[in-house]
Chain A
């Protein structure tokens, strides 16, 4: 598994650096119109995480790399578990980096440039907000990756792109139906959280409570990610190269 993680790291390193620079530049550019560094953090996380997963799976298909990789001392199970671990590691590192970027950006816009929207909050509140944004954005990418990786593992990137969008649409439809059936308003993430907590607005609850919600959400997503990995292992065992 160490082999797989290292192999993924050296494969994706330069692409990660590039997408990091692009995401940060875009974030800095959009921070003022969005009026929030939390939104920038979420954007950086989603852009880099999803790009990294796509990139890794795309490299698998080029020059039969994944076929050759199986001639190294790796079982098919190790390949899949290693890939899930690589992506998870990238997600954790990107979340931490995104929070740091958000913080630097907040200090720059609020304290140095003194732009109105960014001056009103205390440092501790800002940090908590940024962490919550990073966790929730990572949850979104965990769900996305949990759905797309089994397809990419089984069919390869090129073929999987035919199925990813229809599958995502079906999953989203079922998820919204399920949320509606248990009485949750699924119009937006905010309204869903509000209806889940039984309050009138997010302002009613403290950031600590919101952090608790984000952690529960992360736990659920991690469980789904693990389930996705076990599905991928089964699919990869039957794959013919």
Chain B
């Protein structure tokens, strides 16, 4: 891969700079600090870690996860080092050439929003690797797992750093592939395989829509660099279609309704995978893309209505479904679906305020959701169940875990003084300024309702995991019987919970990060500050409503659960997925059964009809027979022709094989006579000899075949075959007449006659053509002859071997041959 020298450009305002990144413009290259050029290297580092993990996996045991964790750790440290510059509005960019002819360039760009995403991807990623090292016991295939996970981390990193949208797509699909392998890691379990497939098909299908959309968008914009596209947003029908396709891709990736069914299914993955992929990273890829493009395209076509409707609907559906879940992990999964809908609303609306709030929510959600997933993993690991009906008394036994869960949960529910509350307040604030009329009001209503649901399912989660329940039954361990987890197992979650608490109380240090992220998305944003206390305003009122409704919902949980179970089932996304897969399978089987029916005569008929119809119909429609046709040059030709025709017909209707062979020979001899009449004795001689030998050979073969043909009864299908054959004959003959009449220039064969003797030194033109003018053809033909000979030896050798392999006497072979013979004659 030829590398263009990487370069860095910074703009003081931090807005989109139209970096002059076309090759061949030396002026655009700025000086580059050596540490800044690491974007490509960091992504590659993950790939290298994956290779190391595959190679050394068996030797390192669980430590392989820690080794792999070094890649995101290094990335985090590097990103932290870059933070001051980036937060000042200077983007770090790097460019290497890949396939410029197709618009695929390795262009990376670290701006404020990318920095926030890197914090999620690599920061949380590092913790996940540490957590996973405690989660897994030593097992033989951990190297493969670690390799896939770090490859995923690298893909995700590349995704958020890519400026070229096709490069982004490359990483986008890589996350799909790696997540397929991760979800199906416990591959002996059927549900894991099915879940992996479902995730792959849904996100992969969306990915293809995305590809179509991105290509359309890039073609309309004349560039595939996102920063350049957004600097001068194109318009028009093609772009509007492209945006819908892009959104389709983003919705599937971010589990938006009605494509959300894969996310709960993906809970079949080991918990570290869920904590990472399904909270902090992969599902955020769609949100990320929407966030990037919304400020530029929110006003174009269907973007805003689509994003707001789908996002709000997802928020409600996810929250509603979460209320009914008994598996803690599934509960969190549906909660994640709900929160993703929330983020899509905020970041997709394309207004500065909501964008800012969305950035804050992204950060908050990454922290508390990863922490909660880790908690579920700890509970599962220690108590061997995740079913909230079976868990009881864990709050007293695992006090530390309970405390950190309550902190993280409260942040998710949006309670002060936690960062989740600040983010939600900012969100309400932003949404109240949407000014979209009735639609806007509906969106606010949906978000408030969704937040209330969030409050309720969070309460349900905490109650389910830690409360002491009298009715808890089941095989899982409860209360005092649960062993305490190692401190290394809990620390990553504790760190995240602590972070969400500290930043809730003291949000000021996050102001630059979130503010610059918002500015990177939308340069028109004048970033407000994050406050814990906004004063008494509508947003706070909405928060109060949320909490009140949420509390009510939680208290009525049993009734709601019963009602949900009894309610007429909504058309579920899961059902839709299953039905489409089954439908495609059925259709495929049917089509194949019709098309590929295994009958050679059918195949031949279809092929011949195609040959007849496709070229024949236009010919018959547009051409007319040439004038001045003569039937024959000499009457003898007519006589021979009639004989040939009669013999050919006789071959077809003959009932004895021997008669058919003789008639076929007669056809050949007749053609040879035609050659003689035409004045080509050489050809005629060859033809005679070939026919003679052919007849002799046939006679050899006939000795071991039955005297008569197998099938002699006249069937209706035969009539159609006769018709087809006759049509082919007419077509070829007619075409030959037309083609010959179309000739305007003399044939090159005239030159052969002239030059045969003087230049090639032979009087026999046919022979000169064969061995000189067109010797290469002859070389090919004798090769064919040699192959024919070899083929016969090969086949006969087989027969002989088979004969010997039987009972030992040649006569034992015969029954088998009968079967083959019938096969051949049919």
Partners in one complex: no
Residues of B within 8 A of A (CB): none
Residues of A within 8 A of B (CB): none
